[in-house]
Chains A and B, each alone.
Chain A
Amino acid sequence: MSPILAQLAERFESVTWEESHGQDVARVPGENWEAFARAAKESGFEVCADVTAVDRMRSRPERYEVVASLLSMSHRVRLRMITAVGRENPSVASLTPLWPGAGYAEREVYDMFGIGFEGHPDLTRILMPDDWEGYPLRKDFAVGSVPVQFKMSHQVN
């Protein structure tokens, strides 16, 4: 583990650390999400490379996972921080005040999973139409299909 990660691990006892295929992963409780992110930024993670989410509908009691990939250019270290978000009114603190670059990514997560981000300046749908109902990347959102009306389809049995 890189020294800046060891420093972070010391400061936050509630965070569990994992190694996933050679990458450092920090599982952060939801209430420490922002404080941990702030500490990570202060210790050298200048870039929030990515924010996304996973819907663990059946396998975990807390349905969603919000995943943020942080990058420290000065130390050449990556860190993935993951927090579990509950089923009812899913929401977590926004990282956009810390890293403005997380703004679009969090809008995408909101758009696709319906997870709210407290403190986000402009939490609106980004890829789907504004009046879209439902959250497409949730596991209970069916893929569905659009019926295609072929000209001669009534003759085929």
Chain B
Amino acid sequence: MDDEQTVKTEGGRPPANPETETLDIWVAATEEPEFHPTDEGTQELGPDESDDRLDDQFGRVVADDYLFDDEVAEEERTVLNMGPQHPSTHGVLRLHLELEGETIRRTKPIIGYLHTGMEKTAEQLTFSQGPTNVTRMDYLAPLHGELGYSLAVERLLDVEVPPRAAAIRILMTELNRIASHLVALATNGMDIGALSMMIYGFRERESILAFFEKTTGLRMNHNYIRPGGVAADLAPGWKDDVAAILDDLPKRLRQYDDLLEKNPIWLARTRGVGVISPEEAIAYSITGPILRATGVDWDLRKAFPYSGIDQYEFEVPVGENGDVYDRYRVRVEEITESLKIVEQVMDTMPKGDYRIGDRKITPPPRARIDESMEALIHHFKLFTEGFKVPEGETYVAVESPRGELGCYVVSDGQARPYRMHTRAPSFYNLQGLPIAMADSLVADTIATIASMDPVMGDVDR
């Protein structure tokens, strides 16, 4: 004890070991001692702080598929069950992860926890009730589901909606794409740890949902786009609301860039993580931003245009590496492109009717019911029996925020679809999850799931 007390601590530094420490005392006017770098100097120029290391820290190096060097015996593989109740699985996604140490070797998504038999339900609902069903599938992009269904039914009916109805559909679905991508950014940020992104993403989305509420009556599950047009015309003053969104969002997007693009943690956790190659994406029927992030220039709005979207100018943003960062980037740029479309639709909104005039398909205006017996009969027949659709089958696909949303409708000539099948983009994109996660670290699981942006309502239906 006495020995320890005699060792004095100087300036918070650890006590020197008397056996190794030699004291250099430089006396003025004697020979200058040899130069010894101080501790502070070594902190600046250590071997770890080389340029390579900095590249790594700033996420400039893309290296997926972290390889585990040592051989691991079969019995040391652990199976980790993740979900279905997990805050970062975006619903009720359950994963079986087979781990070797910290490396994921195999992943098996287990789905079906949100299966409610919506395709069976669709067979019980009339064609005019159908949109209420499909809108609940992909609950972040309800209008795209309604659009796909309505286009399929209209193709079977062989009718074309008026130009104003088509333009309103494009306006609403592109706004919906922005809202959906904002949720993707928000949850992606929250899962990786950029918590403020969650607040900002949801705040901006709310401004779009407020516009939806004004137009359709509901924030979600709108039942707005129906076979034959849309349910109601745009509310008075809609241009001001859309203009406010168009004015506000570019500023917000710049704020997100400041928040994420210059954030070394964000870059390190997204760059080179969860890589999918273009060949894998095509083989596994992956569509949407995940496919485009791999560098494949494929967008149904360009390839098979619907509702007159080919008359508006916009670009299809593509990535390069197919990693989490590129998927995030593609979504941000798609928001910008959708804003361009919304602006063009707002400026060129045609005048006219917002649904077709055929009273066998769309109900008469409410005021006409009090005046005309025929209108009353039409109204009654439409809301009790619905309208009959000629026999046939068709497949119509629209570009939802998650990829190709297809609707396969078979009619046997009755007022209810004989079979309605939805090609759910999240369902197919989920097949890419085991590929993106193979041979990567378990810590990257959350980032990869978030970047796939699965909506479990769409997966399980």
Q: Chain B interface mostly helix, strand, loop or mixed? A: mixed
Number of interface residues of A (CB under 8 A): 36
Contacts across chains A and B counted by CB atoms under 8 Å: 89
Chain B CB within 10 A, most for which of A104, A105, A143: A104
B428 at the binding interface (Cβ < 8 Å): yes
Which residues of chain B (431-461) have a CB below 8 Å from chain A? 431, 460-461
Using known A-B contacts A54-B418, A69-B408, determine if residue A102 contacts B392 with beta carbons closer than 8 Å: no
A121 at the binding interface (Cβ < 8 Å): no
- Chain A residue, CB-CB nearest to B412: A59
- Give CA–CA (A111, B461) in the complex, Å: 13
CB pair B397–A49 under 8 Å, yes or no, is yes
- Chain A residue, CB-CB nearest to B157: A21
> Contact partner of B423 among A69, A126, A136, A143, CB < 8 A?
A69
A23 at the binding interface (Cβ < 8 Å): yes
- Give CA–CA (A73, B285) in the complex, Å: 11
- Give CA–CA (A41, B323) in the complex, Å: 27
B304 at the binding interface (Cβ < 8 Å): yes
- Chain A residue, CB-CB nearest to B418: A54
- Give CA–CA (A22, B155) in the complex, Å: 9
> Contact partner of A101 among B115, B156, B303, B428, CB < 8 A?
B428
Chain B CB within 10 A, most for which of A47, A80, A126: A47
- Residues in chain B near residue A73, CB distance under 8 A: 282, 296, 298, 303
Which residues of chain A (102-155) have a CB below 8 Å from chain B? 102-105, 108, 112, 125-129, 136-137, 143
Number of interface residues of B (CB under 8 A): 39
A19 to chain B, nearest CB (A): 11
B107 to chain A, nearest CB (A): 14
Which residues of chain B (99-131) have a CB below 8 Å from chain A? 111-112, 115, 117, 119-120, 124
- Residues in chain B near residue A22, CB distance under 8 A: 155
CB pair B111–A103 under 8 Å, yes or no, is no
Q: Mark B206-243, 1 if CB is under 8 A from A, else 0.
A: 00000000000000000000000000000000000000
- Chain B residue, CB-CB nearest to A104: B431
Given A128-B115, A137-B419, 11 more A-B residue pairs with CB atoms under 8 Å apart are A46-B282, A73-B296, A73-B303, A80-B395, A100-B283, A100-B284, A101-B428, A112-B119, A125-B112, A127-B112, A137-B120
